[in-house]
Amino acid sequence: MRENATAARDVIAIRHLSKTYSGRGGGVTALDDIDCTVADGEFMSIVGPSGCGKSTLLKILAGLMHASGGQALLNGTPIAGPRKDIGVVFQSPVLFPWRTVLGNVLLPVDVQQLGREKMTQRALDLLTLVGLSGFEHRYPWELSGGMQQRVALVRALIHDPALLLMDEPFGALDALTREAMNVELQRIWMERRKTVVFITHSTSEAVFLGDRVMVMTPRPGKIGDLFAVDLPRPRPLDVMTTEKFGVYVRRIRKSLNAGGGLE
Amino acid sequence: MIGGPKNFALRLVLIAAFLLVWEGFVRLFAIPMFILPTPSNVFLALYRGFASWLYVDHIWITLTETLLGFVLGTTLAFLLGTVIALSRPVEYFLYPFVVMFQAMPKVALAPLIIVWFGLGLASKVVNAALVAFFPLMVNTIVGLRSAEEDKINLMRSLAATRTQIFWMLQLPNAMPYIFAGLEIAMIFALIGAIVAEFVGAQAGLGMLIQSMNFTMDVAGQFSVLLLLSVLGLILNGMVIGVRKRVLFWDASQKFNDEAARKEVA
- State which amino acid sits at residue B212: M
- The answer to whether A160 contacts chain B (CB < 8 Å) is no
> What pLDDT score does A3 carry?
44
Instruction: Tell if the pTM clears 0.90, that is, is over it.
Output: no
Series of mean pLDDT values for 10-residue runs along chain A (263 residues) = 52 88 77 88 89 85 90 88 90 93 96 92 91 92 91 92 91 85 89 90 92 86 84 89 92 82 48
Contacts of residue B148 in chain A, CB cutoff 8 Å? 94
Using CB atoms, pick whichever of A55, A83, A110 lies closest to residue B159: A83
- The answer to whether A53 contacts chain B (CB < 8 Å) is yes
The C-alpha atoms of residue A73 and residue A213 are separated, in whole angstroms, by 20
Contacts of residue B166 in chain A, CB cutoff 8 Å? none
> What pLDDT score does B251 carry?
65
pLDDT at B252 over 70: no
Question: Which stretches does DSSP call E strand in chain A?
Answer: 10-21, 28-39, 43-47, 69-74, 77-78, 86-89, 163-167, 195-200, 212-217, 222-228
Answer for the pair A193, A41: CB distance below 8 angstroms, yes or no: yes
Query: What are B174-213's pLDDT values in tens digits?
Result: 999 999 999 999 999 999 999 999 998 899 999 999 999 9
Looking at chain B, the whole-number percentage of residues with pLDDT higher than 90 is 79
Query: What are B116-156's pLDDT values in tens digits?
Result: 999 999 999 999 999 999 999 999 999 999 999 999 999 99
- What average pLDDT does range B50-65 have in this prediction? 94
The C-alpha atoms of residue B152 and residue B258 are separated, in whole angstroms, by 17
In which band, very low, low, confident or very high, does the pLDDT at B166 lie, cut at 50, 70 and 90? very high
> What pLDDT score does B131 carry?
94
Computed over every residue of chain B, the mean pLDDT equals 90
Contacts of residue A91 in chain B, CB cutoff 8 Å? 259, 261-262
Query: What are B69-96's pLDDT values in tens digits?
Result: 999 999 999 999 999 999 999 999 988 8
> What pLDDT score does A260 carry?
59
Q: How far is A233 from chain B (nearest CA, A)?
A: 31
